[in-house]
Amino acid sequence: MTNPPLVETRELSVHFGGLKAVNHVNFSVCDGELRCLIGPNGAGKTTFFRLLTGVHAPTSGTVKINGRSIAGLQTHQIAKLGVGIKTQIPSLFDNLSVHENIWLSARRNHGRAAANQIADRVITEEVGLGEYANTEASKLSHGQRQWVELGVVLAQRPKLILLDEPAAGMTGSDMEKTAELIKRINRSSAMIVVEHDMEFIKRIAKTVTVFNRGEVLVESDVDTVLADERVREVYLGKRMGQRHDIGA
Amino acid sequence: MIGSRNYWPIAAAVIAALSAIVVLPAIYDEYSLLQLTIYAILSVLALSLAFIWGYGGILSFGHAVFFGLGAYSYAIGAINFGETTIALLLSMVIPGLFAAALGYFLFYGRISDVYLGAITLTVTLIFFNLASSTSGPEYRVGRVPLGGFNGIPSIPQLNVPGFPDWTLSTTELFALSVATLALVYIGLRLLINSDFGRIVVAIKENEVRAELLGYDARKYKLVTFVIGGAIAGLAGCLFANWGGFTSPAVFALGQSVQIIIWVVVGGVGTLAGPVIGCVLIQWLTNSLASLNTVNNNLIMGGILVVVVLMLPQGLVPTIARLARGRRPVQRLDAATKGLGGASTKSEARA
């Protein structure tokens, strides 16, 4: 291959005491891809996500972003490799306005000359929060806060975006808007989305990686994965499989 | 308020300073001017903590260490060199360098807020003990004996740079102190409105988010801390000029606590508030001391408790909100960040 994958893990493991939370995971995502990570609770997907973002250090194995190992890098240095991260609970500058939140993101990555213009475009066109530009982030609803954070990540114009449960706590139209937003963002950035809401996965997913007990169980396109017997088994448990038909 | 691009406070500061410099010396005698000078000097000190705590989110429990270092640096420099220009510079450079060294360990070592408070507190107490135990003749810098508990007397007055014989009169020191206060206020206001300032405030708001965007929070906090240290040092220099002597008392616990009280009373997260808090508290302290009927500290303590309970956000933010016709919103902001559980509890009770 001429281009290295955008993200690549080799034999990545992390052990907490005797618990092998992530065990010999080989994983890669290429430019422009949209990858969903799913798995039952405790499967290791969030831990894996944290290894990618440098929150946890691996016990063994490597994580490379853009061909560069992230071992020993600080959070801000990983961000500078072109990685945008959205945490599970919206992490915003709560007492600052929506515009200030997104401006701060654009300012870091595009310099002061372009920052205002990019911030304006992200707010009005990309996340559609124009009327809230001067509202304090803390005064917005849960869904709106999620979109502000997506806007913050977008304004970085990162090559790779990592999203941890972007639809958590969302229902109906909010979830729909978030799915649309993610698809649109994916036109310019590769994405890795950790999610366990099946409805949401079906809306956005192309390729899905299923985690179970710290290992990759299956990795394939969304329909194949959802039809897979082993996935149904680990995801819903044998007894529950009848009631919750995830293959639909 | 934060991130405001309004420049009217700067115009107000210029007008207030100019009129104080022109009008007050015409009204008051030298003794009263000297009393007013100390308010201006201590207000500069209040501003330095107002900046690093209210905007940088760094609560230094030993902020007096930079004030004291500034006073000692000026005293030692001025006596050794005769001409005071270098001494004036030293009074900012040395506390600034010390803040850089201390801050490097605090921020690059990722020390949490509570421990940062404890460490800065300890550092100022160490300096207090160090300075107090230098009474022997062997403790000298250049030809200045450090003087132990008695400190350094007969510190030369500032002179106009390049003119060692042109030292400042009482009126001139008053004008210089007021001008310094105005310039520090304006400088900090401009800094807070700059991109650097907006980033510093963002890091105070949410350090994790700032780092996820690629900002190195450690670096920004360190620069903020150094700026605060240098300004406190400058206040120390003026203080040494004002009294003509300096003693280990500048490093004392009470000194550090006092600065925090000014900021709390005036309002964390504002610049004007701590200045008003400082003037108000100092004026009260002076008035109570002359009464001689009740214990001064008891009343000061009472006032602090009342302010924290009734006006948890401090005077200026509360008045600003009332002026805009809204009830003060009791949110956990900058104050909580530094005070931790203590302020949360008091706000819950209020």
What is the ipTM metric for this complex? Answer: 0.86
Residue B75 neighbours by CB under 8 Å, 6+ apart: B87, B144, B152, B155, B240, B245, B246
Q: Are residues A237 and A127 in the same domain?
A: no
Examine the domain organization and report whether A88 and A146 are in the same domain.
Answer: yes
Q: CA A206, CA A208: separation in Å to the nearest integer? A: 7
- Sole residue written with tokens 């003087």: B147
Nearest to B209 among A74, A93, A103 (CB): A93
Is residue B346 in a domain?
A: no
Domain co-membership, A73 together with A168: yes
Paired residues of A29 in beta bridges? A7
Residue A70 CA to residue A80 CA, distance in Å, equals 11
Query: Does residue B51 lie within any of the structural domains?
Result: yes
Q: Compute, in degrees rounded to 10, the torsion defined by CA atoms B338, B342, B343, B347.
A: 160
Residue B347 lies in a domain: no
Pair A75, A47 in one domain? yes
Tell me if A76 and B201 make a contact (CB, 8 A cut-off): no
| Count: domains in chain A | 2
pLDDT band at A101 (very low <50, low <70, confident <90, very high): very high
Beta-carbon-side half-sphere exposure of residue A191 (alpha carbons within 13 Å)? 29
Contact B209 A97 (CB under 8 A): no
Dig out the tokens for B30 from the structure: 């030298």
Phi (first) and psi of residue A26, to 5 degrees: -110, 125
Question: Nearest-CA residue of chain B relative to A91?
Answer: B209
Residues 6+ apart with CB under 8 A from A157: A109, A110, A118, A188, A189
List the domain range (segments joined by +) for residue A19: 1-82+159-248
Per-residue confidence (pLDDT) for residue A237, from 0 to 100: 63
Residue B38 token pair: 């100390």
pTM of structure? 0.88
Which position has the higher pLDDT, B321 or B52?
B52
Nearest Cα of chain B lies from the Cα of A77 at a distance, in angstroms, of 6
Q: State mean pLDDT over A53-59.
A: 87
SS3 B152: strand
* Mean pLDDT score, B200-228: 96
A61 and A166 inside one domain: yes
Q: For residue B144, give how far its alpha carbon lies from the nearest alpha carbon of chain A (Å).
A: 46
**What does the DSSP 8-state code read for residue A124?**
I
Same domain for A235 and A169: yes
Phi, psi dihedrals of residue A85, rounded to the nearest 5°: -125, 130
A113: nearest CA partner in chain B: B195
User: Per the domain annotation, does B343 fall within a domain?
Assistant: no
A46 and A150 co-located in one domain: no
Higher pLDDT, B338 or B90: B90
pLDDT of residue B72: 96
Name the one residue in this structure whose structure tokens are 């949401």: A200
Q: Is the pLDDT of residue A55 over 70?
A: yes
| A184 and A91 assigned to the same domain | no
Q: Report the DSSP beta bridge partners of residue A161.
A: A84, A191
Q: Measured between alpha carbons, how far is B5 from B197 in angstroms, rounded to an integer?
A: 12
Residue A79 and residue B212: Cβ atoms within 8 Å? yes
